[in-house]
A and B are shown apart, each in its own frame.
Chain A
Amino acid sequence: MSGERLLTINNLSVTFGGLHALRELDFHVDEGEIVSVIGPNGAGKTTFFNMISGMVTPTSGEIIFENQSLIGLDPNQVTARGIARTFQNVRLFANMTILENVMVAQHCRTKQGLWGALFQTSSFKREEEEIREWGEKVLGFFGTRLVGYRLDQPASVLSYANRRRLEIARAMATKPTILLLDEPVAGMNPKESEELTRLIGELRSEWGFTIVMIEHDMGVVRDVSDRVVVLDHGETIAQGSYEEVSTNPDVIEAYLGRPAEEAS
């Protein structure tokens, strides 16, 4: 079901001081795929996202997105190219309203400047209207939870699950091609994560996003992913369908620990 190759990562390494957070990593995503990245704590999954989104500069290797290199771009340029992300430790603009959170995310898709704002030009007003409409549309994706009177409430009053949803909505608002979701269901109860799993499927089928997702919840991984990539100690130790990966002895070893002499 996958289309053209969207993102290719070749031979990529990231080191922090002496720590090899990622080591000679190869990775790719095709259009319309949902890829899950799993691995034990500290495996380098979040670092992997940070590096794609430009928040961490790789030590070596290349990242090609839609046939252009992303190396050396600032995070905002990467987002403008069409890769948006959420954060593992929810990082909303807590004192801005829910609507403002998704409005501000459209910054790189809009262009009105000083002039329009000061003279309230018709194009300014039109753009403001469009920003608001798109904002309400992405919020509406999660049903009635984030709209209505909620629009004008600060993000800080939201429940944990709703904050996670707002994070996704904010990333959607940037009109990306690829969505990077860092542990989207962490902290949700089974019912909520089941619902979100369905929504992630809709993100692809109805909104046309390609999705790379970090997730610890194997149920979710099994239900939505086309492909699973397993990281351990910054290296890809396995990839393939959920069934292939979940029976792979290396993966089981990575999760259950390894013999003592190898660890030292």
Chain B
Amino acid sequence: MESAKKSVLAARRQFLLDAARMAGGVGMLGLGVGLYAKQAKALPPAAIRPPGAGTEQDFLGACIRCGMCVRDCPYNILFLAKPEQPIATGTPYFVARSGPCEMCEDIPCVKACPTGALDHKLKDIAKSKMGLAVLIDKETCLNFLGLRCDVCYRVCPLIDKAITLDLRHNERTGRHTVFEPVVHSDQCTGCGKCEKACVLEVAAIKVYPVKLAKGELGQHYRIGWEEKQKAGGSLVAPDAEHKYNLPEGMHYESGKGLSSGPAPTPGAGVDSLQGVVPNPGRNAAPAGNMPQNIPGGGLSSRMTDDAPR
């Protein structure tokens, strides 16, 4: 009886010991893999996910690393990450500089994805958000240097929407125009054609995962003119019109000072602020040295704050 009890106790002890050993060993393994997995969540800037991929966190849970998207991409731009790469092993990516997404109209990569890691709700490739192009080096970009390279702008599948040329005065020469390529995040798909096409040794415009490239306003920020447009009118009481309180029959003109006589027509004088914003009708056209047929929508649409972006 006694010995039987003892052996039961010994067996129980052994069982508990084995279980503890197993839990310990497997726990260590789990810790190792878990920490590694945490590291592997950081996507390097040069690796862009195929169209339709959600946030990196979601993608790493949804993508089963099957490579169907890789197979069905007609341009063979997609690759599955190898273990030595700093991208989660087996997940698809492309590198814009060597092979950008050609923005297929039928999006075969998304259709091929069996899990929906590439979201099947994406039907219009122009709505995809693979990344965001950033003109990151203004010191080497030829357009910033005052030349008319424009290559990134011209290759963009969403020319004049995702990327525009914004004009400003060339301070260096004093008499030319700088055609600054400007990317608009609400339109840019991150296809990377601009980065691929950039003529420099190292591209001055690069595509990054949106999370890296995009800033974010504080939640409480409101942009005045947008609110104004939404509301269909000014949200604050309009400023009282500026008025000089001068003796009757007198008026004031800058440079000339006080004088008597009738007031000048409104808008021509300095006491109206309208003329301060350069206005194509007054500044560009009579000067005659500004190109009239500017790709990118032309000057007039860009010179006011109301220009569509």
Decide whether A and B assemble into one complex. no
User: Could you tell me which A residues sit within 8 Å of B by CB distance?
Assistant: none
